[in-house]
Amino acid sequence: MAKNLLEQLREMTVVVADTGDIQAIAKYTPRDATTNPSLITAAAQMPEYQEIVDETLRQAKLDAGSGAADEQILSTAFDRLAVSFGKRILEIVPGRVSTEVDARLSYDTEATVQKARFLISEYEKAGVTREHVLIKIASTWEGIKAAEILEKEEIHCNLTLLFGLHQAIACADAKATLISPFVGRILDWYKAETGKDYAPHEDPGVLSVTHIYNYYKKFGYTTEVMGASFRNIGEITELAGCDLLTISPSLLGELKATEGELPRKLDPDKAASMEIERLTIDKETFDKMHAADPMASQKLDEGITGFTKALVALEKLLSKRLLALDGEATINHAAEDIFQTYDLDGDGFITREEWMGSDAVFDALDANKDGKITADELGAGLGAAFHLAEVG
């Protein structure tokens, strides 16, 4: 019997599930999983996870003590909710789960370090050891320096929102465990700039990750490369052989349903023989290269803004649930509130540019695949965003 593309991909690349939905993770049995606020927001709306949310809020309020401000309770609740989802995910996957530091701390090294230490302490209280957790941090210079400190403490880091070679080299020099270059968002930028449709083999995001992978293998870096944010399975198949790929449930389903030969595209032995110039990246060089790369500069800023917006939306949801637990309110309008948070121009649609959060969530909520989310799609999707039909 012929193997499908997902089976073949797993023979050369570690497959990671880009979702907070525990059922979807159980279905596709990846080795690792990754979450972020927009993923958790979607999952937290689903009835089967209400118990996790309510239990986390009650405990955060109890620990904060009487008179504690809601902001303090919600901050603690968000971190613990991320850990709660992470712990349950680790009951399914054998490897690691990535848990994100508050994106609002992306330019503050010390605050990022402190938040990462808190997250790890929460995991350890829950009986999860450090080797099963990756702390996800934005690839700003300050975030990379935080990762350098944390890695020395054996707190392993996943550097995300990575769009340029300068970021990748700085992460490797900091001995980060893993980086997550965003393939689809790079493609989005170039398509918007040029108006051109790119074949998978010439996709700018694919070419960027290929260059980073070859650079790492050429110079013997141990930092792993995990391609992320895919728009189609063509981008994924062009990166077959990459260390890891984090893939949304919809694209995992498409790979599983597709048969055909999957050749290896990225190979460490081939990279070792390539002629590649080695670069030294200090802060001055990093800043110069970043300023000279409008795609990387814009997409990093957009990504931090998007993840921050997702966190604000989650905080609104948790605030309403906290009031509901106290008998002071209901949460019937949570979906409407979240829609208004993202619909920046008030035209009744959320575009991918307005969303700026997790691509996996956007793709799941965009039911008719027209590149925008309506209020109805958001309301329906938050209750069933990742309930995919059985494939194969």
pLDDT of res. 112: 98
pLDDT of res. 104: 94
Residue 388, pLDDT above cutoff 50: no
Mean pLDDT of 202-211: 98
Q: Which of 114, 111, 44 is nearest to 84 (CA)?
A: 44
How many domains does the chain contain in total? 1
Residue 314, pLDDT above cutoff 70: yes
Residue 266, pLDDT above cutoff 80: yes
Query: Which whole-number Å values give the CA distances from 21 to 27, 157, 246, in the listed order?
Result: 10, 22, 14
Residue 386, pLDDT above cutoff 50: no
pLDDT of res. 157: 98
CA 229 to chain centroid:
8
What token pair was written down for 387? 């309930």
Cα(17)–Cα(34) distance, integer angstroms: 6
pLDDT of res. 354: 67
Query: Which whole-number Å values give the CA distances from 356 to 247, 301, 352, in the listed order?
Result: 17, 10, 6
The model's pLDDT over 214-231, given as tens digits with 9 standing for 90+, comes to: 999 999 999 999 999 999
What token pair was written down for 217? 């293998």
Residue 392 lies in a domain: no
Residue 46 lies in a domain: yes
Residue 390 lies in a domain: no
Residue 391 lies in a domain: no
Residue 39 lies in a domain: yes
pLDDT of res. 167: 98
Residue 389, pLDDT above cutoff 50: no
The model's pLDDT over 2-41, given as tens digits with 9 standing for 90+, comes to: 899 999 999 999 998 877 667 777 888 778 887 767 667 7
DSSP conformational letter for 18 = E
pLDDT of res. 327: 67
pLDDT of res. 108: 98
Radius of gyration for the chain, computed over Cα atoms and rounded to the nearest angstrom? 20
pLDDT of res. 285: 98
pLDDT of res. 154: 98
pLDDT of res. 352: 76
The model's pLDDT over 114-137, given as tens digits with 9 standing for 90+, comes to: 999 999 999 999 999 999 999 999
Cα(95)–Cα(152) distance, integer angstroms: 21
Pairwise pLDDT comparison (159 vs 311), residue with the higher score: 159
Mean pLDDT of all residues belonging to the chain: 86
The model's pLDDT over 302-311, given as tens digits with 9 standing for 90+, comes to: 999 988 887 8
Pairwise pLDDT comparison (45 vs 367), residue with the higher score: 367
pLDDT of res. 189: 96
The model's pLDDT over 320-374, given as tens digits with 9 standing for 90+, comes to: 878 877 765 444 455 565 666 566 566 778 877 666 556 666 776 787 888 788 8
Residue 20 lies in a domain: yes
What token pair was written down for 81? 């909710």
CATH number at residue 172: 3.20.20.70
Backbone angles phi, psi at 144, to 5 degrees: -65, -40
Cα(129)–Cα(123) distance, integer angstroms: 7
Q: At what angle do helices 70-90 and 109-125 cross, to 10 degrees?
A: 60
User: Are the beta carbons of 184 and 230 closer than 8 angstroms?
Assistant: yes
Residue 126 lies in a domain: yes
Q: Which residues contact 20 (CB under 8 A, 6 or more apart)?
A: 35, 36, 39, 40, 42, 43, 85, 89
Containing domain of residue 332, as a range? 5-384
Cα(118)–Cα(320) distance, integer angstroms: 25
pLDDT of res. 384: 36
pLDDT of res. 381: 59
Catalytic positions, written as ranges: 136
The model's pLDDT over 369-384, given as tens digits with 9 standing for 90+, comes to: 887 888 777 766 554 3
User: Are the beta carbons of 204 and 211 closer than 8 angstroms?
Assistant: no
